[in-house]
Amino acid sequence: MQSGPSKRSALGFILVTLTLNSMGIGLMMPVMPSLLTELTALPVSDAARWGGALSVVYALMQFVFGPTLGNLSDRFGRRPVLLVSMFTLAVDYLLMALSWNLAVLFVGRTLSGVAGATFSAASAFIADVSSKKDRAKNFGLIGAGFGVGFVLGPMIGGFLGEFGPRAPFYAAAALSFVNFLFGWFVLPETLDPENRRDFDWKRANPLGALKQLSALPAVRTLLLAVFLFDIAHYVYPAVWSYYSEEVFGWTPGDIGMSLAFVGIGFAFVQGFLIRVLEPKLGPGRTLLAGLVANLIAFAGLAIADSGWMAYSLICFASLGALATPAFTGLMSNRVPDNAQGELQGMISSAAGLSMVVSPFVMTQIFAAYSGPDAVVSFPGAPFALAGLLILASLVIALPFIRREAKPAPGSDNQKSPAE
């Protein structure tokens, strides 16, 4: 484990990496409809179906390859996997900038999904350089980087989009390549040689990794809770734009402003607030606070009828971001050091699967309960379902929440992996 300035530098690099990668994703969001209409010669309403298909391909690649890349990082170290991922993303964005037909765009999104090791390897990197008692709050850097990038990316992408729908992709490629060069010169290796293990295809896939982690009952149970949490949480990108226009009559500008508010809230909570609260509350109570905040947000959004209510509930949704690093910290502390990459790959895989399930389910529910043809008008129905999923996740995680005592100052005591 690193210490002192080297540890802070390593964590700082990961924060910059995640921010830049999140910015790369956000840069293309404002221009994707224009690029799709250009490549397909279809109206926006029909081109949006291809946009959904691109999202599904990305999520499926995350699901399939998350454990593979996580296991590769357990075998060869975090540095080579992160560097290859960064370089692949640069190539991917350049390919999408040059795309001459829809098939090339699909190839690009496939590469993006495969290169999703950025998040799983970065999480394993954080586990390597953090003591067990600090892991949950340090995992918050992932959400902080995503939040900052989520705010800056669409803003810069919208500006660059004025120069053409491909300009943001060139910018994302340049950012990713600069980040690759930055990492090449400054990124240390954090996985000690004695903690490395042989690569095995039997465990380097979602089912194989789940089977291996099933030997740790606590991790298996918490993964189920995380999966339900992720399905609930992805209701935001799935229906937020449609819901806010239908219920509040918001314009695209209003929607963009609300998403920027969400990004700022997530960055504050996971980048700062969790570092204050988690040492005082402990990982169990931090998780409880995050899940309860999500429950309040979803219950409120299910019945909200004005914009000011939405903004007040976004504050609770931001507090709900406490749950993600707390979940990750609880699981990471129950896995050996030489299996951190495998665990983070499995978490990434679960997130990828939920990104396939959630948009389909949530949009279908929204369509069924909104619009003039709805038998029962209840546009907040997707958020009601999300609230029920959070409640189920809370029930599953409750034994671990109760079991986790507040850590003593300076203590590294944890439950045994099998507990």
Give the length of the chain.
419
Q: Cα(219)–Cα(121) distance, rounded to whole angstroms?
A: 18
Range 4-188+207-403 has CATH code 1.20.1250.20: yes
Does residue 343 register a pLDDT over 70? yes
SS3 298: helix
Q: What integer is the mean pLDDT of 319-334?
A: 86
Q: What are phi and psi of 101, to 5 degrees?
A: -155, 175
pLDDT at 310: 92
Does residue 28 contact residue 96 with C-beta atoms inside 8 Å? Answer: yes
Q: Where are the domains of the chain?
A: 4-188+207-403
Q: Cα(414)–Cα(419) distance, rounded to whole angstroms?
A: 10
What are 12-16's contacts with CB under 8 Å, separation 24+? 13/182, 13/183, 13/186, 13/187, 14/122, 14/125, 14/126, 14/141, 14/145, 15/141, 15/144, 15/145, 15/271, 16/145, 16/179, 16/182
Does residue 416 register a pLDDT over 60? no
User: For residue range 166-197, what is the model confidence (pLDDT) as tens digits?
Assistant: 888 898 888 888 888 888 887 778 777 777 77
Cα dist from 115 to 11, 68, 249, whole Å: 21, 11, 38
Confidence at 414, pLDDT banded by 50, 70, 90:
very low
User: For residue range 206-259, what is the model confidence (pLDDT) as tens digits?
Assistant: 666 556 656 667 778 888 899 999 999 988 877 887 788 888 888 767 877 887
pLDDT at 408: 42
pLDDT: which is higher, 33 or 227: 227
Please list, in sequence order, all residues whose beta carbon lies within 8 angstroms of the beta carbon of residue 87, skipping any fewer than 6 positions away. Answer: 176, 177, 180
Q: Cα(76)–Cα(84) distance, rounded to whole angstroms?
A: 12
Q: Cα(347)–Cα(342) distance, rounded to whole angstroms?
A: 9
Cα dist from 186 to 17, 21, 84, 179, 226, whole Å: 12, 17, 15, 10, 33
Helix and strand element counts for the chain (H, E)? 17, 0
Whether the model clears a pTM of 0.85, i.e. scores above it, the answer is no
pLDDT: which is higher, 290 or 186: 290
Confidence at 46, pLDDT banded by 50, 70, 90:
low
pLDDT at 302: 95
Cα dist from 239 to 140, 197, 218, 287, 393, whole Å: 25, 42, 33, 25, 21
User: For residue range 75-94, what is the model confidence (pLDDT) as tens digits?
Assistant: 888 888 888 888 888 898 89
pLDDT: which is higher, 390 or 88: 390
pLDDT: which is higher, 77 or 118: 77
Confidence at 312, pLDDT banded by 50, 70, 90:
very high
User: For residue range 263-283, what is the model confidence (pLDDT) as tens digits?
Assistant: 888 888 887 888 888 888 888
Per-position DSSP letters for 365-400, written without gaps between them: HHHHTSSTT-SS--TTHHHHHHHHHHHHHHHHHHHH
In the chain, the N- to C-terminal Cα span, in Å, equals 24
